[in-house]
Amino acid sequence: MHPLFNSNRSLLTLIFTWVVLCCLIALLLWELTDDAPLEARGLLISLYALPLYLLLLFFCSANYYLCMRLPANQYALNWLFIAHASAALLTVGLWLMLGQAWSQLLENTGLTGARTLHEETLWINGLLGLVLYCAWVLVHYTYLIAKGDEANNAQALAQKLLISDIELQAVKATVHPHFMYNSLNMLANLSVAAPEKIHDICVQMSEFLRYSVNYAKKDTVTIHEELTHIENYLAIEKERFGKNLAVTIDVDPACLYRPAMPLLLFPLVENCIKHGIQSQLAPGYISLVMKPLGEHMEIQVENSFDPEGQKAESTNHGLASLKKRMGGHYGAGATLNIAKSANTFKVTLKLPHLTQPSTLKLGVDS
């Protein structure tokens, strides 16, 4: 529905404005037909012009939908001019033909001079029709641009709030109590069995926690920084799992300094540990492969798991949170695919080149 018809207030304002305009046009026609008998001229002009220009109001308001189909920011100016000029000529031509039929009807009902009035004022009616049509086009484009800016600002604000909330939750989830509990137990054991390793492990824990708290607040980091964060985490976990954890990381150098959202890789790798390696008594593996793929970057994280093993309780928070954050940062071009076999679990991310936080929505296949 046309926005002017959405509320009584705007509709009454439109009607009042149009009535005033019709009165001014009637005065103009009065001056142009001063050779007609004075006593019949007022009635003739009123019955001819007022319904005719009321019909023009509906014709002009209909170009709102053409303006919606041809957004000003998506088409060249010459194409817009051609489209609207063609529509204006067709609309005003049809309107004048209906005006001729209306004047003939008035003539047939005994209002002498209606047909003559139409023929004498044909050029001024045509000119006024084109001017009013063009004015409505400008009004509609102004309204649509203002409405678009308002919607974009609201969407950007909502997206920013969503990202902030998700990132806060991600930071809280990162410093997992179980990770700290397991790490402290491991340090206690190392203090007896291999105290020389404690310093390096403490440094890696410190770097891991520093990144989790500080870098998560940034808009973007680099893939290199993400890898360093993951390597610190896996170094701690390798000390805990020993020979039962094998890690392979294969990253194309072209990806290293690409911008990425903070904490992109951690939920994937943490998922491998919690639901894969931790469920196995036999040795397991985690594989991380990262390579450019045209305008995108592909990330594959795969791990082994024991389908019969005891698994950690799943909250479904890790991948769900990652999916939402990807939507906020990368937009609709980002995808997340999950592939599961008898004893392997693989997540594949396909990410467009990140330049700035996007306002588009994510498309996720699973």
Give the angle 191-197-199 at the CA atoms, nearest 5°. 90
Q: What is the mean pLDDT of the chain?
A: 82
119 half-sphere exposure, CB direction, 13 A CA radius: 6
Alpha-helix residue ranges (DSSP H) falling in 223-351: 223-241, 266-275, 318-330
Q: 300: part of which helix (H) or strand (E)?
A: strand 296-304
In this predicted structure, the answer to whether residue 197 has a pLDDT above a threshold of 60 is yes
Q: What is the mean pLDDT of residues 146-165?
A: 73
**Which residues are bridge partners to 287 per DSSP?**
248, 302
Per-residue confidence (pLDDT) for residue 171, from 0 to 100: 54
Query: Looking at residue 247, what is its pLDDT?
Result: 93
DSSP 4: G
Question: Residues 102-122: pLDDT tens digits?
Answer: 989 988 888 788 888 888 888
Q: Higher pLDDT residue, 127 or 32? A: 127
For 9-61, write each residue's pLDDT tens digit.
777 887 888 888 888 888 887 777 766 555 667 777 888 888 888 888 888 88
Residue 351 pLDDT = 92
pLDDT band at 284 (very low <50, low <70, confident <90, very high): very high
pTM, whole model, 2 decimals?
0.53
pLDDT reported for residue 366: 32
Mean pLDDT value across residues 215-242: 87
Look up residue 258 and give its two tokens.
Answer: 């690409």
Q: Give mean pLDDT, residues 65-89.
A: 87
pLDDT greater than 90 at residue 300: yes
C-alpha span between 174 and 213 (Å, rounded) = 9
